[in-house]
Structure 1
Amino acid sequence: MPELQVLVVDDEPAVRQVMAAAIGKAGYTVDSAASAQEALNRLDQTPYDVVLSDVFMPVMDGIELLRRARERGHAATFIMVTAFSSVDSAIDAIKAGAWDYITKPVRREEIVHRLEQIEAMRGLREENRALRSMVLVGGAAGQPYTFQAQAMLATERLISRVAPTDSTVLVTGESGTGKGVTARRLHELSARREGPFVPVNCAAIPDNLLESELFGHTKGAFTSADKARRGLFVQADHGTLFLDEIGELPLGLQTKLLHVLEAKEVRPLGAEQSRKVDVRIVAATNRDLPAMVEAGTFREDLFFRLSVFQIPMPPLRERRADLPALLRHLLAQRSQPSGARQVLGIDPEAEDLLLAYAWPGNLRQLENVLHRAAILADGDSITVADLAPEVVRAATLAGAVTSPGAAPATRPAEAGTGLDVADPPPEATLRERVRRFEIGLIRRAIDEAGGDRRLAAQRLGIGLSSLYRKLEEDERGDKADRLRKDEDDPRAALIGERPVLARD
């Protein structure tokens, strides 16, 4: 995803330069304007993502700049800055459409934190657009997309049942399976659809800021609290609060979150009284929360409170029936007018590789691979040469790709694993073929990680519990294979064990 483009607007050169330098140092693209009129001219020429604007400026102030920018159709997110922390100006800025409001002197950490929040929300919006028609809707609002894979059909039924209720929902699944998109769908199909949908990534906010972000604080509640701040629970009042990566929430905050869920009220840091909130909670995680409960790193009572209704998001490898349609859908999105050359199709050999790949990064990885391939493609179709190396490498190991004129490739046994990863027998089912292929990748990743299974799971983009489960499934499959071979070999009955190959 491209980095944020930020425009700093301030009539004081020193302040403008300091803020622009801090933003540039954080890795964002930044320009500056000395007046509101100059900022409007720049907005007409460049689609900035964020405008960091002073409120009090001569001729045209920051709030008027915001109003005129909206009238011209500019969608940039505005953060208003002022040395006068007046409540009236804050309210006017929010009413005009400002996303947030901060006071001078502005700290670099505060600016960067706000930009990271905007970047996270922007990423979720882009993921929604990319995956919307394949995970959410295909036609009129509320009409479910027609899936082929039974796993997604079952998930759609769960979504349609629980969405109209106020039930707390826990969405589980591997990274990239569309958990954030499902949370948005639950909101859009509920009676709260006209209310706010507020996403927060619990892993992206430092622990010392997370409590203030969730529950808010009063002015003076701590050293740097130079103004009061509404928490995300208050911002989501009468709407939905999406707690992504809930498994990363510190234990201390888990206790406070549990109280909010039970009492339906929040108390900002430094406040003497609590405030009632009407918020629906949707949480998501790629972690194994029951295992965390057993390990004492996640509260059992909070887990039960969050998992009133669970929606598991199936990984892409369990939705292979949907893959052909997903490939064409993503290519159709790439073909929309955007100034880039259009790629309209996929070469049959390249499509075979894409359909055979295990997709450990799920839908997000599929989108990225197609995006890269579309950029590299010379013609109007994607070929094998345009695909990501990991896709081609996996297919080569699986014997799906050979050099021109060469005999079909076979896969040797993995060194040190004792795993026979040769081509499966012709009678092997698709499930068995996929199992053998996946376990070969897993064992290879474990070897490359020096036996560190947690690191191997991270590199494969799967949870540690999923890695262990697949290893156990493979062990059971190997035992079943040996039993079948023993039953088929008449010598097994004589020696009471696996057949022994005769020596030369």
Structure 2
Amino acid sequence: MPELQVLVVDDEPAVRQVMAAAIAKAGYAVDSAASAQEALTRLDQTPYDVVLSDVFMPVMDGIELLRRARERGHAATFIMVTAFSSVDSAIDAIKAGAWDYITKPVRREEIVHRLEQIEAVRGLREENRALRSMVLGGGAAGQPYTFQAPAMLATERLISRVAPTDSTVLVTGESGTGKGVTARRLHQLSGRRDGPFVPVNCAAIPDNLIESELFGHTKGAFTSADKARRGLFVQADHGTLFLDEIGELPLALQTKLLHVLEAKEVRPLGSEQSRKVDVRIVAATNRDLPAMVAAGTFREDLFFRLSVFQIPMPPLRERRADLPALLRHLLAQRTQPSGATQVLGIEPEAEDLLLAYAWPGNLRQLENVLHRAAILADGDCITVADLAPEVVRGAMPAGVHAAPIGSAPPPRGPEAALPSLEPPLEPPHEATLRERVRRFEIGLIRRAIDEAGGDRRIAAQRLGIGLSSLYRKLEEDERGQRADPVDRLDKADEGPGAARA
């Protein structure tokens, strides 16, 4: 991944030089600007990844710089710097689209930590675009992606049933499964589609700001509150409020949130008057909320209030039937690094390994693996050599070890035979990698069924696959055996007596 390009904006030369030196020492590319106007000119010329800007500057302040940068289409991540611990200016910055803010005097460690955080989540933008395209449709060829896996089809049915209602929805699932996109779909398929959709990441707002952010405040409610503020509940009136990472909400705020959900009214900080709001709540989390309830870190009554209707987002390992079409859908949306418009293909052996991998990082990991493979691909097709080593190793059956990238090819012939399973395998030099993986897979499935006493449901659970996937693989194996010319030749060699047996 290319290093971050950072632009430091501050009207004080000494501060500007100190921050730029700290960023350069941490290994990032850095430029500086003495004013917001100069910063806009530099942004027009260079696609900076991060802008570290002072808030209070003459002529044009940092928040106005952020707004104008967004109007011009610049996607740089903004971190605002202020000499005053002003809650009001911090809220202004976050509402205008700032990623975070820090106060002066700025410590080098704090700047570097923020940049490292941004660097760690840079892939999320790509992931969100991919997920949105996958769920809402619109591939490179104009064809929407359609689900095939039973788990995702069941999720789609839940979405279609609950979306037209005003029911509170809790979307659960691992990171990277598309919870945020599902929340937006619920809004777009509802009667509130013409109203606002207001997302808020409960984990991204400091504890001392989140109450004011959600409920608003009056002028003079606290130090630096020099004007009244509407909260996100009021902003989402007649629309949908998406509370992402709800499991990170502090306990004190959970009580106040529960009251708002039950009374359907909010009281801004410092006010004695409540205001009615008509808001649909969609919450999401990758945490185990029932376990948090048992541990006393999440209110039980709030959990029941939020989980009126639950939508679990299945991980990718439970959606293997979607993978073949999903791979092609993602590849169709990306061009080769050279800029060629030809869509990359994928060799059968590489596809087999991708289909066999467990994908613990879900769609985010799949997108990143394909991005890496597209960069490494020499021709118009992704090969096994282009895949990440951890994917190749993780997709191999037990006892099979992939050779290091760049090493000599393994020997062929009987000495290269793979470990045997029941039923016995054909000589490996007569089978492609696809066939060898398939036979190992079916051998593992049959062994798991035997060990489960013939109970295929238990076998599927132990193997970490869906029951429908297990049946499909058994059916594919039976069809393959009927069509396998080598198998028919072996039976002919056994003679008529063997055939009758």
TM-score w.r.t. length of structure 1: 0.66
Equivalent residues of 2:197, 2:241 under 8 A apart: yes
Quote the residue 1:98 is aligned against: 98
Partner of 2:183: 183
In structure 2, the CA distance between the partners of 1:296 and 1:37, relative to structure 1 (3 Å rule), is: closer
Q: C-alpha displacement at 1:323, in angstroms?
A: 0.5
Where do 5+ consecutive residues of structure 1 fail to align? Answer: 417-421, 494-502
Counterpart residue number, 1:475:
478
Mark the CA change 1:454 to 1:37 in structure 2 (over 3 Å): closer, same or farther: farther
Q: Which moved more, 1:356-365 or 1:338-347?
A: 338-347
Verify the 8 A CA contact 1:23 1:112 in the aligned structure 2: yes
What is the CA–CA distance in structure 1 between the aligned matches of 2:391 and 2:498, rounded to whole Å? Answer: 41
Q: Is the 8 A contact 2:414 2:429 kept in 1?
A: no
Describe the superposition over 1:130-186 as per-residue Cα deviations: whole angstroms up to 9, x where unpaired. Answer: 122322324799997421222212212222232233321111122221112212222
Q: 1:48 to 1:223 in 2, by over 3 A?
A: same
The CA deviation string for residues 167-220 of structure 1, in whole angstroms up to 9 with x for no partner, is 211111222211122122223333444544443333445545544444455677
1:252 CA displacement: 2.6
Question: Is residue 343–residue 379 contact of structure 1 (8 Å, CA) maintained in 2?
Answer: no
Q: CA deviation at 1:375?
A: 2.7
* Alpha-carbon distance change, 73 to 219 in structure 1, aligned in 2, over 3 angstroms: same
CA distance in 2, matches of 1:27, 1:455: 52
Structure 1 stretch displaced more, 14-23 or 168-177: 14-23
* Farther off after superposition, 209-218 or 289-298: 209-218
65 and 130 in structure 1: CA distance in 2 versus 1, 3 angstrom threshold: same
CA shift, 1:322, in A, is 0.9
Q: CA-to-partner distance for each residue in 1:442-493, whole Å, 9 max, x for gaps?
A: 9999999999999999999999999999999999999999999999999999
Report the equivalent of 1:30. 30
Q: Structure 1 residue 351: deviation in Å?
A: 0.9
Shifted more, 64-73 versus 365-374: the winner is 64-73
Q: CA separation in 1, counterparts of 2:259 and 2:494?
A: 62
- What is the deviation of 1:356? 1.2
In 2 relative to 1, CA 491–451 (structure 1 residues): closer, same or farther, beyond 3 Å? Answer: closer
Asked if 2 retains the 8 angstrom alpha-carbon contact of 1:6 and 1:49, the reply is yes
CA distance in 1, matches of 2:223, 2:491: 72
Q: Is the 8 A contact 1:138 1:144 kept in 2?
A: yes
Q: Deviations over 1:97-142 (max 9, x none)?
A: 9899999888999999998999899765432211223223247999
Q: Which moved more, 1:282-291 or 1:352-361?
A: 282-291
1:333-372 maps to which residues of 2 (within 5 A)?
333-335=333-335, 344-372=344-372
Identity among equivalent pairs (%): 91
Between 385-394 and 190-199, report the one with greater CA deviation: 190-199
Q: Distance in 2 between matches of 1:452 and 1:125?
A: 43
The CA distance in 1 between the partners of 2:237 and 2:25, in whole Å, is: 36
Deviations 1:43-100 (A, max 9, x none): 1221234545567766777687667656654344667778899999999999999899
Maintained 8 Å contact 2:87/2:225: no
> Over residues 408-443 of structure 1, what are the superposed CA-to-partner deviations in whole Å (9 max), with x where a residue is unaligned?
999999999xxxxx9999999999999999999999
Are residues 406 and 212 of structure 1, via their aligned partners in 2, closer, same or farther at CA, if it must alter by over 3 Å?
closer
Alpha-carbon distance, 1:299 to partner: 2.0
Give the 3 Å change call, closer, same or farther, for CA 113–246 of structure 1 in structure 2: farther
Aligned-pair CA distance for 1:353: 0.9
Contact 1:402 1:409 in 2 (8 A): no
Cα distance in 2 for residues equivalent to 1:352 and 1:483 = 27
Residues 16 and 269 (structure 1), Cα distance of their counterparts in 2 relative to 1, 3 Å cut:
farther
Structure 1 residues 468 and 396 mapped into 2: Cα distance closer, same or farther (>3 Å)?
A: closer
Structure 2 unaligned blocks of 5 or more: 418-424
Residue 260 to residue 393, structure 1, CA distance change in 2 (3 Å): same
Q: Name the SS for the 1:491 alignment partner.
A: helix
Distance 1:149 1:140, change over 3 A: same
- After alignment, is 440-449 or 238-247 more displaced? 440-449
Q: Secondary structure at the match of 1:118?
A: helix
How far 1:333 moved relative to its partner? 2.4
Q: 1:306 to 1:34 in 2, by over 3 A?
A: same
Equivalent pair of 1:357/1:395 in contact (CA under 8 Å): yes
Q: 1:450 to 1:155 in 2, by over 3 A?
A: closer
Check conservation: 2:353, 2:396, Cα contact below 8 A. no
Taking structure 1 as reference, are residues 110 and 474 closer, same or farther at Cα in structure 2, changes over 3 Å only? farther
Secondary structure (helix, strand or coil) at the match of 1:371 reads: helix
- Paired with 2:496 and 2:292, the residues of 1 have a C-alpha distance of 49
Pick from 472, 490, 498 the counterpart of residue 492 of structure 1.
498
Are the structure 2 counterparts of residues 134 and 4 from structure 1 closer, same or farther at C-alpha, using a change threshold of 3 Å?
Answer: same
CA distance in 2, matches of 1:309, 1:74: 38
| 1:53 and 1:78 in contact (8 A); partners too | yes
TM-score for both structures, normalised by structure 2: 0.66
Aligned-residue Cα RMSD (Å) equals 8.8
| Cα separation, 2, equivalents of 1:165 and 1:17 | 55
Please tell me whether the aligned partners of residues 392 and 402 of structure 2 are also in contact (alpha carbons under 8 angstroms): no
* Gap change, CA 1:219 and 1:471, over 3 Å in 2: farther
Q: Is the 8 A contact 1:411 1:423 kept in 2?
A: no
Alignment partners' CA distance in 1, 2:268 and 2:457:
38
Instruction: Give the secondary-structure state (helix, strand or coil) at the position aligned to 1:490.
Output: helix
Q: CA deviation at 1:324?
A: 0.6
Go from structure 1 to structure 2 and tell me whether the alpha carbon gap of 1:240 and 1:465 turns closer, same or farther (over 3 Å shift): farther
